[in-house]
Structures are given as structure tokens and as C-alpha cells.
Structure 1
Amino acid sequence: MNGLTLNIICGGNKGFSLELDCKVSAIGITAIYGPSGSGKSTLLDCIAGLRQAEPGSVIRLNNETWQDASFTTPVWQRHIGYVFQDARLFPHLNVQQNLDYALTRRPRSGNIHLNQVVTWLELDDLLSRSTDTLSAGQKQRVAIGRALLSAPRLLLLDEPLANLDHAARQHCLRCLQRLSQELQLPMLYVSHDIEEVSQLADHLLLLEQGRLVEQGSLLTLCSRLDTRLSHEEQAAAILTARVAQHDAEYGLSELTVDGHTLLVNHLPHAVGQSRRIRIPARDVSVCRHRPLDSSILNILPVSVVEIEDTNAARLLVRLSLGSQYLLARITRKSCVELGLCIGDNIYAQIKSAALLMETTDPA
């Protein structure tokens, strides 16, 4: 079976133990998400061979076994690209020389060429520069490029944007999205920032205290009520939409989601492009009847799919919008007074500020 097969037990400090048994897709970007200390970096280190999993653990990519009960493949023979929080560039080499280092020492031929990497990661103006003159974001883009030019079978990224400011983080995210579009290269991306993950990942592994608690499609897991994600303050549904048209008079763009229209601030993207939308549960309210006078532009017909069973002051409601889903966090009192029941056809009011645009096509 294609993909990454993991059956790992790996001990750590103070009684910590990573115990994982799953298969990871060989297509797209899989995010490994969880709080600090959940075992995210330990997992990457075991896959890379930098940390030894216990005897009997199994690590296999497609048909190639890197560890099982009988042997362990050395790190250098796994052909993995690894990008850390700190870029770890060679300080005595300029950017071009750092990239050339990977090219001249890669253990196998690859179909990723220098000019492609330079274009995808926007490194053209940096090639002659010393690494100590680069910003943190520039260093990370060079580090990603060097990892790609090593001709990896798998790319591991361990919180590569953790030390970047917002602008640099968004720049790197756009570049990583472009790589995902251009390359048939599986990537594992560690993060504890769900907004970052929302922009990038196709699949999601949720870790907690060294255990896998959920696994699946990002879009599916983000809209379920029974996951850790839905109970975080930043809980949000992720939807996919297409740019339908632009309204120059009012500075808005019209998106379509399963035949429904969403208006957002003007986007610099062509009609027909696919976008990813993150809508926080706290910014969705519900009503029985469509308001006739409201400043909220996005009022959509939805159906109640699920209501959280809780005695807390607030609860979550899962709403279907065609084949996709929204989450609404409302007070339990509101739910009772509205008499909400599963199957009800109601309206969701979405604050326009909540429509955070995430690129799924290269800009």
C-alpha cells in the first residue's frame, strides 16, 4: 500500500512515551497537530531515524521498509528532507552555495531542478547573499529549497514558521502551497497553530500525550463536534469555494460554496480560482427567519445536523451548507429559546471579518 506506515513506540523523558499505529497518505500535506509535549517532533525524529524507536517498531514508506523487527535503515539511506525551526544553513556559504551543496551531494538523481526551486521559493534575489544577511523568513525558504534539492522521498517540516513574524509566515505559506501544487512529494508538517495548519494541510493527525486521538481530512475534522479541535477557542470550519466575480463598486468579491454566495473583501484572484475559507465558530450566529434589515451581508440557509449535548453556558451547533459544514458557537439559552432541533432549516449569519482567505492555488 502506498503511503507511510507507522507502528511506533518510543520512550522519552519523565515517563513520556509515543505510541502510534497508523497509515499516512503519500499525497499532499499531512499536518501533525497537538499541544507542546504531545510527541510531534519525536514522531518526525523517529521517521527520519534521528531517534531510535523501540525494537519491533515499523516505519515503511510505500514498499520500502526503514525499520522493523529485524533491522533499521541508516538516516542517510532514507533520503528524507528535514526542515527545522532554525534554518541551520551553512554560515560560511552564500545562498547559492547552500543550494549547490544539496545538489552535489544528493545520493540519487532527482526531478527537482535548481531553477524550479528558486522560482517556487522566490529566491532569485538572494542567491549571491551571505546567509547572515538574510531575514528569518528568507533563511527558512532557503532551508526548504536545500531540503528539496537533496531529492527527498519525503519532506519533514518541524514548525518551520514558528519564529517568523506574520508577513514572513504568510510568504512562506504561499511558497509551501505552491510546492504542494507543483510536486508529487508527501510532506509531514508539524505545528501547534491551527490557523497555520488550516491554510496548508490536506490531512490531519491529532496527537495528545503521545497518542493519536484523531486522523482524517482537515476539512472533515475541523467541522466535527467530537474532536479536540472543536473545543478550542479558535474552533473553525474550513470550506472550499470558488471566485465567482468581483464587485469593483463596493470593493467586494463574490465566492460560491455549493451554489451559495459569500461576499468578502476584494480578492486579487482570477474568477474561477479555488479558495479555502476559515470561518470561526464564534463568528457564526443563527436565526429562525432571515433578517430583513441587517448589516451582515452573509446570511445563508443551512440545516441543523448536530447539537452538542452539554450543560455548559455555550454549545456548538453543526450546520450543513450543501455538502459542506459550518460550526456555530452559541449560548445554550439561545439554543433552548430558538427550540433548535436536528433537521431544522434555519439561517446562519456570518460576520464578513470572519471570512479569512487561504490560498489553495498559487497566486
Structure 2
Amino acid sequence: MRNITEVKKNTLSNALNISISQQTLGQSNFSLSLDIQIPNSGVTALFGPSGSGKTTLLRCIAGLDKHLQSNISLNGEVWQSDSISLPSHRRPIGYVFQEANLFPHLTAGENLDFAIKRADKTQAVISYSDVVSLMEIEPLLSQYPTQLSGGERQRIAIARALLIQPKLLLMDEPLAALDETLKQEILPYLEQLCHSANIPIIYVSHSLDEVIRLADHMIVLDKGSVIEEGETQALLGKLSTSFARHQDASVVVSGIVVKQENEWGLSWLEIGNQTIGFKQGKETLGDTLRLRIQSKDVSLSLSEQEGSSILNRLQVIIDDMEQDPKDPGMMMVRLLADKTPILAKITTLSAHKLKLSKGQKVIAQIKSVALLR
């Protein structure tokens, strides 16, 4: 990696630019070494296993790790360099931790008032009424943290971080301390926040499900280094990535709702020149939605099969194939439905018996899909 004092010629002024080079942290052998640019819009997920450096990177951005050798700037404003070290309280960030960390002696509303007092008065990212509405916390404002559920406390913590009026929101595994029921309770609020906020969000997680639902852009870390980076949907649809070998390997497809069958409780999404059905919700005709398709839910056939309960059958072309290096008995097949990638995880024996090859036309039979938003 280049010397961090070198001026980066291709630096994007409208982005968060981070360069870190540290051989060891504390008494461990862990090192953090990366040079990245994070988009100044949408949600960027920092993804990777525990110990990969996600939280360390977030703390560095926030100015909480002082010993790291780093260059950090947002929109041309330098926060950290060889000669500058902006204190944490002067960095225009909101930080949501794994635990809500609310002041126990203050009501939820008073916790929000504390954030308003700290807010940057020179800019208004979001109004108080909008925050209360977005997080649906009006009934909670008079209660103390001990009277709230874990999910409710996190909603207050997110609201507090927004009311600081930050230029950047950092979220460090905000669902990690919640059980599965509470995760499902708060995820819709996070989705609404991520897709309506007008500030960039960096979201730390080792849950692929959360990343798929929330993130526009991904940075994958392992042992302190970036191993993959790019637009979420593009990365998920590629072979030879950590995602293709993940147990929950999936793709996300986008389309427009073109048909609804109320009698059967189904809506149909247009994918190129074909359609895919899913359980009807609150969507209406013309809505643009995203569906998650897991590779384990896709099987392949050489021809249309009658008498099957599988509704979704798409005509596809095999674009690529790869044997799982960790499990030679399994094969990942990349398919194209028009220009939309779909992954199918099948046995190597099945691929052999069907004599599958690149460029071949087959039928993708999709057993289930999940609506993301």
C-alpha cells in the first residue's frame, strides 16, 4: 500500500476517504491495512467475520482509536492526518452502538433533548418531528430506558444519533444484542431509515441477511484487509466471491409489480421479459421492489415440467459454473434471466447428469422468494 502521506490523485471530494496502516494493535498480532473510498450516499456495509476489523475501522472513523496511523476526510474536510487529529466530539457523526447506551436517569424524550443540545446548529439533516415519526417513538418519550424493550431502546438510540444532525451515521451491529423476535421488530425501522435518510450510513454486520436487506454498497473485511468491495447486488451475483460460497448465498433482483392476483394472494414482479410471483403484501401495481432468491431454493431442469407445485420457472442461460473448493460435491451455477443474475446451488452429480455447460439454455425452478422492500 502507498505511503499514507502521499496525496491521492484520484481522491473523490464527495466521499469518505480512509487510509489506514497499522502493523499491530495492542498486544495482539492483528493489523489493519486498507485504502478505501466510501460513497457519500446510501448505505455501505462493513461485512466480515468477528475479528476482521469492522468495529476497529468504525472506531477509527469516529476518532475513538487514537493510536492508528491514518488519513481520514469527508467531503474534503480532513479529520485525521499526520498533522491533524479532530477530536471525536468535533466529528459530525452519529454513532449507534450494539447496546443502546441511553442515560438511565433520563426519559426517552430527555435523552433526545440531550442530543438536540449537542446538535450542529449550522445544518439541519432531519427534523425532530420527522425522527419521531420515522422511528414511531411518540408513545415512548415519557418512559425511562428500564421501561422499554431492547428494540424500543435501540429505536430511541437511533433517533438520538440522528438528532445530532450528523453528516455521517455509524451503526455498529445495532441488532447484535437483540433476540430474533426483537430483530424482526426493529428491521423494518432500519429499512425505512436506510432508504429515506439523506446522509451516508456505514453499517457494521456479520449477518448476510441484514446486509442484503439494508446495504447499497459493501466492503468485505478479513484479517484487517479489504478482500471484496462493490455494489451489493453486483457482488452477490458473482462467482469466485465469499458470497457465492456462503451458506446463505443469494441474489437480489429488482423489478416492477406488473400483476396482482388477489384471489390467490400473489403479486408478480417483472424480471426482463418474464415474471416471478411472490406473496402479496401492501405493494401496488407499478411499485419497484426487491426480492431475495437464495441459491439453495433454485433447481435446474432441461425442459418445462408439468404437474409441479413450483410456480416460478424462468428461462435462463448458464453464464458460469464453479465447483465449491470446500465441498467438491456441490456446484454453484450462475444463471442469467435476460440480464438478471440468479445463483443455483446444485450437486456436482446433478450437473454431470444434466451435462450442464456454459451458454446452455435451461429452466430455473425457484421454490421461494423473500420480499425485501
Alignment TM class, shorter chain as reference = over 0.9
Distance 1:230 1:181 in 2: 26
Per-residue CA distance 1:8-51 (angstroms, 9 max, x = gap): 12432421011111111111000010000000000000000001
Name the residue aligned to 1:6. Answer: 18
Partner of 2:301: 287
The number of equivalent residue pairs is 356
SS of 1:230's partner is: coil
Distance 1:349 1:186, change over 3 A: same
Q: Which consecutive aligned stretches of 4+ in structure 1 deviate over 4 angstroms post-superposition?
A: none
Please report how far the alpha carbon of residue 166 of structure 1 lies from its aligned counterpart in structure 2 after TM superposition.
3.3
Tell me how far apart the structure 1 counterparts of residues 196 and 246 of structure 2 sit (CA, whole Å): 33
CA–CA separation in structure 2 for the residues paired with 1:102 and 1:256: 44
TM-score (normalizing by structure 2): 0.92
Answering whether residue 264 of structure 2 is matched by residue 246 of structure 1, we say no
Secondary structure of the structure 2 residue equivalent to 1:313: strand
SS at match of 1:89: coil
TM-score, normalised by the number of residues in structure 1: 0.95
Q: 2:345 aligned with 1:329, yes or no?
A: yes
Does the 8 Å CA contact 1:46/1:53 hold for their aligned counterparts? no
The answer for the alignment partner of 1:42 in structure 2 is 56
CA contact (8 A) 1:206 1:212 kept: yes
- 1:320-353 Cα deviation digits (max 9, x unpaired): 112211100111111122111111111100002x
Unaligned runs of 5+ in 2: 1-11
Most deviating of 93-102 and 233-242: 233-242
| Matching of residue 85 in structure 1 with residue 101 in structure 2 | no
What secondary structure sits across from 2:95 in the alignment?
strand
- Deviation of the 1:167 alpha carbon: 3.9
Q: Secondary structure at the match of 1:308?
A: strand
What displacement does 1:310 show? 5.5
Aligned with 2:115 (options 94, 102, 107): 102
Deviations 1:121-145 (A, max 9, x none): 1111111111110000000010000
Match runs of 1:333-344 below 5 Å: 333-344=349-360
Alpha-carbon displacement from aligned partner over 1:144-195 (angstroms, at most 9, x marks no partner):
0000000111000000011223343234222222223332200000001101
Please state whether the residue corresponding to 1:54 is helix, strand or coil.
Answer: coil
Any conservation in 1 of the 2:304–2:363 contact (CA below 8 Å)?
Answer: yes
Question: Among residues 130, 141, 144, which one is paired with 1:130 in the alignment?
Answer: 144
Q: Distance in 1 between matches of 2:276 and 2:220?
A: 30
Q: Distance in 2 between matches of 1:16 and 1:330?
A: 37
Tell me whether 108-117 or 182-191 shows the greater mean CA deviation. Answer: 108-117
Q: Name the CA distance, whole Å, in 2 between partners of 1:140 and 1:270.
A: 31
Contact 2:324 2:332 in 1 (8 A): no
Note if 1:222 corresponds to 2:236: yes
* Residue number in structure 1 paired with 2:76: 63
Q: Could you tell which deviates more after superposition, 252-261 or 70-79?
A: 252-261
Q: Would the aligned equivalents of 1:288 and 1:347 in 2 still touch at CA under 8 Å?
A: yes
Partner of 1:356: 370
Mark the CA change 1:53 to 1:188 in structure 2 (over 3 Å): closer, same or farther.
Answer: farther
Question: 239-248 or 217-226: which moved more?
Answer: 239-248
RMSD over aligned Cα, in angstroms?
1.4
Residues 53 and 236 (structure 1 numbering): CA distance in 2 closer, same or farther, change over 3 Å?
farther
Tell me which amino acid in the other structure corresponds to 2:104.
Answer: P
Q: Any stretches of 5+ residues in structure 1 without a counterpart?
A: none
Decide which of 263, 267, 282 is 1:268's aligned counterpart.
282
- What is the distance in 1 between the residues matched to 2:149 and 2:283? 28
Name 2:184's counterpart in structure 1.
170
**Paired residue type of 1:346:** V
Equivalent residue number for residue 193 of structure 1: 207
Partner SS, residue 59 of structure 1: strand
Counterpart of 2:44 (choices 30, 33, 38) is 30
1:137-152 correspondence to structure 2 within 5 Å: 137-152=151-166
Asked if the contact 2:245/2:324 (under 8 Å) is kept, the reply is no
Distance in structure 1 (CA, Å) of the matches to 2:242 and 2:258: 34
Q: In the alignment, is residue 155 of structure 1 matched against residue 155 of structure 2?
A: no
Moved more, 102-111 or 17-26: 102-111
Percent of pairs identical after alignment? 40
Q: In the TM superposition, what is the alpha-carbon distance from 1:273 to its structure 2 partner?
A: 1.8
